[in-house]
Amino acid sequence: MIRRILVTGGAGFLGSHLCERLVHDGQDVVCVDNLFTSQKTNIAQLLCRPNFEFIRHDVTHPMFLEVDEIYNLACPAAPGHYQYNPIKTMKTSVLGAINVLGMAKRVGAKVLHASTSEVYGDPTVHPQPESYRGNVNPIGPRACYDEGKRAAETLMFDYERQNGVDVRIVRIFNTYGPRMHPYDGRVVSNFIRQALAGEDITLYGDGSQTRSFCYRDDLVEAMVRMMDRPPGFHGPVNIGNPGEFTIRELAALVVELTGANANIVQARALPEDDPLQRQPDITLAREKLDWEPTISLRDGLARTIEWFRSVDLGAFRAPTPNY
C-alpha cells in the first residue's frame, strides 16, 4: 500500500538517505527542512521524482499536512551545530515535537521520533541499555540537545498515553556516511577532512574515550523496520553498532584508509560533559526488529572517504546568523 510519509529534517545527512529509501520503495514522500545545517543538494536527485515533494519550513512553526506517517528527524545533531544557537536547538526539539504530534493527532498518523544516545549523557552504565535513565548535566553546554531530546521523548509518550497517538522512538548512536556535513564537528568528518587535507589528526583529550559507529544504511534500515512494526511497541530502542573503538583507534584507521602522511596529535582538552564511553546494548533491536548492523567500520569509512574525495568541501555552508 502506498503511504504519504512526512520526513522532517529530510534534507539532512540521515533524512536525505531516509527520503531516498522511501521514494525508491514507492512511497509518496514529503520532505520538510529549513536548510540550516542541511544542503538542498542532498535531495537534488529526488526533486524530479513524481512521488517526492520538498517544502522549506521550520518545524518550530505549525504544519498542516495530510499524511499517514511522520519520521521526525528535524534538529541539529552535531555539537558544532546544536551549540551554535542552543535556545533554537531546544525549541526545535520541543516545539517541533509538539507540532508534529499535534498534526499526527489530528490526521491519525504514526510518528517515529529520532532520539539520541545523548539522552544517556556521560553514562555510568556500560554498555547502555534502554532502561538506563542517564547521567545528563541539565545546565551544561550540551544540555540544549541532550535535554531537548529527553523532553521530546516525554512528549511522545504523553501524547500516546493521553491521545492515543501511535509513537515509536529510536535512540540513535553515532552514525556516519556520505553526505555528512564536512564541518559539523563530528569526529569522523573532522578526521577525514584533516587527513585528506594533509593536516595533523587532532584529538580531544588523549583519545582513549570510546564511541560506537553505525553506517548510515544500517541506521535507515532499522528506522524503516521500527515504523513498519505492528502497533504496540513504542520503544525506545537503541540503534547503533555495538562495536566499540577508542577515538585514537578511529584516527589510525582514517590515516590508513586515506593513505595520508599525517600525525595523530593531542591538540585540545576534552570538551565539557563529553561522554567518556558510548556503546549501545542492541538486545532489544535484535529481538523486536530482527535487526543488527551489517557494515563494518572499515568498509563504512572507505565509502565515506570516497564521498569526501568526490565533493567540493568549500561549497558547504556554515550555520547562518539568522537561524
- Contact at 8 Å (CB) between 67 and 4? yes
Over residues 36-63, mean pLDDT: 95
CA dihedral 211, 214, 220, 221 (to 10 degrees): -120
State percent of the chain over pLDDT 90: 78
Confidence of residue 323 (pLDDT cuts 50, 70, 90): very low
Asked if residue 319 has pLDDT above 70, the reply is no
Q: 321 pLDDT exceeds 70?
A: no
pLDDT band at 6 (very low <50, low <70, confident <90, very high): very high
145 as an active site residue: the answer is: yes
Give the confidence band of 273 by pLDDT, cuts at 50, 70, 90.
Answer: low
Topology of the domain comprising 4-174+216-240+280-295: Rossmann fold (3.40.50)
pLDDT at 317: 59
Average the pLDDT over each of 164-168, 252-256, 299-303, 312-316 and give the range with the smallest value.
312-316
Is 11 in contact with 40 (CB distance < 8 Å)? yes
Which pLDDT belongs to residue 262? Answer: 83
Which of these ranges, 185-189, 195-199, 282-286, 315-319, has the smallest mean pLDDT? 315-319
Place of cell 518545524: 59
Task: Characterise 35 by phi-psi region: left (phi > 0), alpha (psi -120 to 50), beta (else).
Answer: left
Predicted confidence (pLDDT) at residue 275 exceeds the cutoff of 80: no
Q: Give residue-wise pLDDT tens across range 100-157.
A: 999 999 999 999 999 999 999 989 999 999 999 999 999 999 999 999 999 999 999 9
Beta-strand relationship, 210-211 and 245-246: antiparallel
Cα–Cα distance for residue pair 121/115, rounded to 1 Å: 13
pLDDT at 276: 80
Longest pairwise C-alpha distance within the chain: 58
The 10 Å Cβ neighbour count of residue 52 is 20
Domain boundaries, the chain: 4-174+216-240+280-295
What is the tens place of the pLDDT at every residue in 67-93? 999 999 999 887 778 888 999 999 999
Number of H helices, E strands in the chain: 9, 13
Q: Choose the catalytic residue: 71, 145, 159, 183.
A: 145
pLDDT band at 320 (very low <50, low <70, confident <90, very high): very low
Within 13 Å of residue 150, how many CA atoms lie on the same side as its CB? 18
Per-residue model confidence as pLDDT tens digits over 174-224: 999 999 988 888 899 999 999 999 899 999 888 888 999 999 999 999 999
Amino acid at 129: P
Q: How many residues does the chain have?
A: 323
Q: Can you give the C-alpha Rg of the chain in angstroms?
A: 19
Give the pLDDT band (50/70/90) at residue 322: very low
Q: What is the pLDDT of residue 205?
A: 81
Whether the Cβ atoms of residue 198 and residue 261 lie closer than 8 Å to each other: yes
Query: In the structure, what pLDDT confidence band is assigned to residue 274 with cuts at 50, 70 and 90?
Result: confident
